Structure 1
Amino acid sequence: MINGLFVSGIEETGVPGHCRWNTSSQESAVVVQQPRKSKHKRLVEDSEREWKTSLIGCGDDFESFLLSVFCPLCVSCDIASRIGENNCIAIVPGGLLALRTRIRTKKNIKGTMCGDCMIQCCLCQLSVAQMYREVKPKERPKSEGWTMEV
C-alpha cells in the first residue's frame, strides 16, 4: 500500500516519493483510487498589469474607436490575425469573448472571465476598440518606397 493506494507490483525504494516496479511479481498493477487534482494558485499574480488604455480611452486613439464603432467585424478579424488566431473567430458566437480572454491571458492583464463576459456583452464595440489598441503597433510601418531628403 502506497499513500492509501493498493497497488501490486510496485515496491518502495526507501526514498520518500520514489518507487520501482517489481519485475519479479507476475501480477499486474491495478489502481483503485484515481489521483485528485490539487488546487493551485497562480504564480504570477504580482506581475499582472492593466490594459494599455481604459475601456473608454477613445481619446488615446480616435481612429481605432471609429473603426470599432463603424466596422467592428473588420477590426475583430484584424485583432485575431495579429494574435495568431483564425480570422473567422470574429463571426463565431462567443468568439469575441474568447478573443478578449486570449489577449488578457497572453499579455498577463488583470481581469476575470466574468468581467470579460460582462464587458463583451454590454459594451461590445468599446471592448473591440480596447482590444485593438492593445494589439496594434504604436507606430505605422515606414514605407519602403522612395524617400525624399531635404
Structure 2
Amino acid sequence: MIDTVEQASGVGIAAPQIYKSLRIFIMSSKPNPRYPDAPLMPITAIINPEIIHASSEMEKGWEGCLSVPSMRGFVPRHKTIYVRYHDQQGQVQETEFNGFLARIFQHELDHLDGLTFIDRLESTKDLISESEWYQQFAPQAN
C-alpha cells in the first residue's frame, strides 16, 4: 500500500483499493505535484478507524483518487474531525484532524464504506478532468 501511494504521489490509499477486504488505510502527506500545498504528515497506518465527532462546519476542496484516475472533484467535507483508530502496534490512538488531513481521513474512510469522492459531490458540475484542474487551479510555476 505504501509503495502504491508513493509511486502515484498520493496522500492515502485504502485496503479495498488493492482488493483487500480490511478496515485499514494509509495516510501520508507532503507537498507533491498532485497536492503542492499539502502539510507534512509521516506515513501512518490507520486500522479500524472511526470518526468520534465531526464539526458542523463543512469545507469544499478539490480531491483526486487513485480509483478514479485523471479526475478531480470539488467535495464537501467536515473541516475538523476527532477520530479513533489502532496504529500498527495495535495501540488505540485518538486525535483531531483539521483541513487537508481531515479531508484525507474522510476520503479514505469512505473507501472502507464502499464510497468514492464522486458519491459526495453536490453536483456533476463539481467534477472535472485532472488536466483541466491543472490548467485552472494548480499553482503556476514562476
Normalising by structure 1, report the TM-score.
0.20
- Greater fraction strand: 2
Question: Which structure's CA Rg is the greater one?
Answer: 1
Q: TM-score, normalised by structure 2?
A: 0.21
